[in-house]
Amino acid sequence: MKATVIIAVVVGVVAVAGIYYSTFLFQPQPELVTPPVPAKPSLTQTNGDSIAKQGEVVTAKPERDLLLPELFQRVENSVVQITIQVEDEFFEVEPLGSGFLYDQNGHIITNNHVVQGADKISVTFLDGTVYNADLVGADPYTDLAVIRVDVPQEKLVPLPLGDSSKLLVGEQVAAIGNPFGLSGSMTTGIVSQLGRLLPLDVEGFSIPDVIQTDAAINPGNSGGPLLNLRGEVVGVNSAITSATGEFAGVGFAIPSNTVKKIIPVLIEEGGYRHPWLGISSTDIVPEIAKVLHLKEAKGLLVIDVIADSPADKYGIKGGSKMITLDGRQIRIGGDVIVAIDDTPIRKVDDLLIYIQREKSVGDEMTLSIIRDGEPMQITIVLGERPGPESP
């Protein structure tokens, strides 16, 4: 489902053409499913391991990076097409997305925005068989969801999750999904950057620690796997940046380490409780550092503190005075956060990534701050982030 987002940064506005969630929206039409094809001969690796014929999967971890045809043949039967129906008194629409098998209990990982609001969810396997699915759990704050199908055991071939923290910029990756309803499509590219922020429909929030890739991600790829050359899922394809809503070389995937943290909880509890500090802030840029008489332009300036949030309860100070800087108004006078648990903070992204990776609701977190020119530390117990429907 499409969501256009413009990112504004205080002191110099950075305009992004648009963040488009890569789900294919269309009116009901004949389903595009690749018909069964004759089994292909097996491919033999140089180290003697064999890659299965179509319809078979080798579960042992390969000893070397796979060739791209080997990679596709290894994982193709684990990637599915997801269709939902949303009914109201006027019409019925059927967004199309992707997903992949997580375990042998029939759980499938996809994006929250693929299945959000669905009255009915259907899953199509590569051989064309279609099954109804149930929503197990969803998390709008990481755009992840789990659905479940009741299918013959031989169809349940889960994909292994890799370690996204080991990804390197420039590393080759592959995306598999159903762009524009063309099932079982594979595109390749590299990891373009790591640790990006992906703005959400939920006002004021972003998904931290996101993978940027130039592998072609188009409408319909949402929820499909981003894979390394060992056949491991390193990300869940979610969105693209584009002026037109179609691929323009910048795609985003939710990292596998976030998946490892969120998905088991979604399966067990149906939702995920995110830790929450309760501030709005902006990066310290040279112009702000000069006004605040800071030696270096790093850290983040607290603009507002949300009432009754953990930051409010433990005395974090928000801005108190509006000034005009480079033609834009900014509120100063708040605390400057420079470290968390002795980990240096350069910008807002670092704060969000640290909390996402390291913290849970109820954990303590020590903030190193500068207040009125004086350094100090405040220890805070993190609360639970309010739901999307909250003000």
Greater pLDDT, 21 or 31: 21
* Residue at 391 is within a domain: no
Do 180 and 316 lie in a common domain? no
**Would you state the pLDDT for residue 386?**
85
**Would you state the pLDDT for residue 120?**
94
* Residue at 340 is within a domain: yes
Do 42 and 57 lie in a common domain? yes
* Residue at 198 is within a domain: yes
- CA gap 39, 22 in Å, rounded: 31
- Tell me the pTM: 0.80
Do 267 and 280 lie in a common domain? no
Do 317 and 204 lie in a common domain? no
Taking only the tens place, the pLDDT of each residue in 74-123 is 999 999 999 998 887 566 667 689 999 999 999 999 999 999 989 999 99
Q: Which one of the listed residues 122, 139, 143, 192 is annotated catalytic?
A: 143
Q: Which one of the listed residues 98, 185, 222, 238 is annotated catalytic?
A: 222
Give the pair of three-digit tokens for residue 148: 């479940």
Domain boundary among the residues 272, 304, 335 is at 272
> Element (H or E) spanning 168, and its range?
none
Give the pair of three-digit tokens for residue 371: 């207040």
Give the pair of three-digit tokens for residue 192: 């373009």
* Residue at 390 is within a domain: no
pLDDT higher than threshold 80 for residue 28 = no
pLDDT higher than threshold 60 for residue 67 = yes
Do 204 and 295 lie in a common domain? no
Residue 274 is among the residues annotated as catalytic for this protein: no
Residue 312 is among the residues annotated as catalytic for this protein: no
Task: Name the pLDDT band for 350 (thresholds 50, 70, 90).
Answer: very high
* Residue at 7 is within a domain: yes
Do 13 and 100 lie in a common domain? yes
CB hemisphere CA count around 215 (13 angstroms): 33
Q: What's the gap between Cα 350 and its chain centre?
A: 16
Task: Name the pLDDT band for 46 (thresholds 50, 70, 90).
Answer: very low
CATH code: domain of residue 286: 2.30.42.10
CATH code: domain of residue 206: 2.40.10.120
Number of domains in the chain: 2
pLDDT higher than threshold 50 for residue 293 = yes
Do 242 and 191 lie in a common domain? yes
Do 115 and 242 lie in a common domain? yes
pLDDT higher than threshold 70 for residue 390 = no
Do 94 and 173 lie in a common domain? yes
- CA gap 177, 187 in Å, rounded: 9
pLDDT higher than threshold 80 for residue 324 = yes
- CA gap 189, 234 in Å, rounded: 13
* Residue at 149 is within a domain: yes
- CA gap 238, 182 in Å, rounded: 17
Q: Looking at 218-363, which runs of residues are DSSP E strands? A: 225-227, 233-241, 251-255, 275-276, 279-283, 300-305, 321-325, 328-332, 336-340, 343-344
Q: Which one of the listed residues 22, 78, 98, 113 is annotated catalytic?
A: 113
Task: Name the pLDDT band for 192 (thresholds 50, 70, 90).
Answer: very high
% of the chain beyond a pLDDT of 90: 60
- CA gap 188, 216 in Å, rounded: 7
Residue 113 is among the residues annotated as catalytic for this protein: yes
- CA gap 225, 176 in Å, rounded: 6
Task: Name the pLDDT band for 64 (thresholds 50, 70, 90).
Answer: confident
> Element (H or E) spanning 121, and its range?
strand 120-124
Task: Name the pLDDT band for 389 (thresholds 50, 70, 90).
Answer: low
Three-state DSSP at 259 gives helix
Task: Name the pLDDT band for 179 (thresholds 50, 70, 90).
Answer: confident
Q: Which domain holds residue 354?
A: 275-384
